[in-house]
Amino acid sequence: MGLDIRLLGPFRVLHDNQDITNEIRQIGKADVILKLLLNQPGQIVGIEDLIDALWNHHTDLKKAKGNLYKRISKLRKILEPSLKKFGQSRYILLKRPQGYYWNSKVECRIDFQEYLQHYERARKLQNQGQISPAIDAYETALRSAHDGEYLIEDRTEEWAIPVREKWQETHLDLLKQLANCYVHSGQYRRAIECYRHVLRLEKFRESTHRQLMLYYYLAGDQAEAPRTYEQCVKMLKEELATDPTPEIKQLYEQIRAGHVPEVDRPPPSSQAIEFPYALSPGSVPFVGRKHEYAQLMDALQRAH
C-alpha cells in the first residue's frame, strides 16, 4: 500500500493500488518535477534547476517561481489526499532557499531505487567473492528492469540525457558483471546469453565482440567464436571503415589454435579467474526495449 512509483518503462504512479498518473500529468509538467526529485531522493534540486527543466530558460523568473510553487502544491495534494492546506508534506520537502527534495526516509516503493539497491548489493557480494549470492542479486535487479529503460518517455529531453546516460552505463555494467559471475561459476552458456544482449546494445565496441569470443571458447563452442570474430571484422569494415585491432586478431588466432594462455592457465583454487579483457562499461546509445529484457531472462532460464 502507499505510493508505488515506476520510472523503469512507462512512467506510472499508484496510490494504494490506484493509478494516479493521469491526475499528476493534468497539472502540467508535474510529472517532470516528480521525476527530477525522484532521480536522487534526499538530494536538493534547486528551484532554478527545476524551472530550467520545465521551461527551458525562456521565461520570466518571478512568474516561473509562482507557477512552480502552484504545481508542487497540487502535486503534494494528489500524492497525499489527506494533506491539509498549508500542511507539511511527507514526500516533497522544501529546503529554503535552495530548493526541493524527495524525502528519502518516507516509506514508498520506487522501482529505480530498488534496481540500484540490488545492483549495489550484487557488486559488493561479487567483490567479496560471494559469487552465487551476487548472481541472485544481479538477476533480481535485472528482473526489476523488466518493464524497460529508465525515463524512456523523456529520452529526448535535455534534463534527462545525463541521468539516462548514467543509467545506461550502470545497466551495461550489470550485464557484464553478471556474465563474469556466470563464468566464474562455470555457467558459460548463461554468460554467453548475457553478453549477446550486451552486444546488441554496444555493437560498435570491439572489446564486447572480443569478450563474447572468449566466452564461446570457454564454453567449448569451436564454431561460434570464429564466427563472432568474422562478424566483428565485417561490422568494422562496413560501418566504421576500420580494421580489427591486433588484440582481437591475436585472440582469434589463439582460439583457432585451441589455446588461450591467459584463461587456459590453471588458477589457484582459492582465487577467481582474472580475465585479461576489460569489463568496464561505456557510455553508448541504449536501444533495449521491454521485450528484449523478457527475451534475455527467458534465455538465461533456458541456458545450461
Check pLDDT > 90 for residue 169.
Answer: yes
What are the tens digits of pLDDT across the range 43-73? 999 999 999 999 876 678 889 999 999 999 9
Q: pLDDT value at position 96?
A: 84
Residue for cell digits 546469453? 193
The pTM for the full model equals: 0.80
Measure the CA angle with vertex 105, ends 100 and 108; round to 5°. 95
What are the tens digits of pLDDT across the range 180-204? 999 999 999 999 999 999 999 899 9
Q: Which cell numbers in the block locate residue 271?
A: 582465487
* Domains of the chain, start order: 3-107 (1.10.10.10), 110-302 (1.25.40.10)
Q: How far apart are CA 50 and CA 55, in angstroms?
A: 9
| Sign of the alpha-carbon dihedral angle for 163, 169, 175, 177 | negative
HSE-up (13 A, CA, CB side) for residue 10: 5
Task: Quote the DSSP letter at residue 17.
Answer: T
Beta-bridge mates of residue 14: 4, 19
Q: Which cell numbers in the block locate residue 72?
A: 508542487
Q: pLDDT value at position 100?
A: 97
Check pLDDT > 50 for residue 74.
Answer: yes
| Sign of the alpha-carbon dihedral angle for 126, 131, 136, 139 | positive
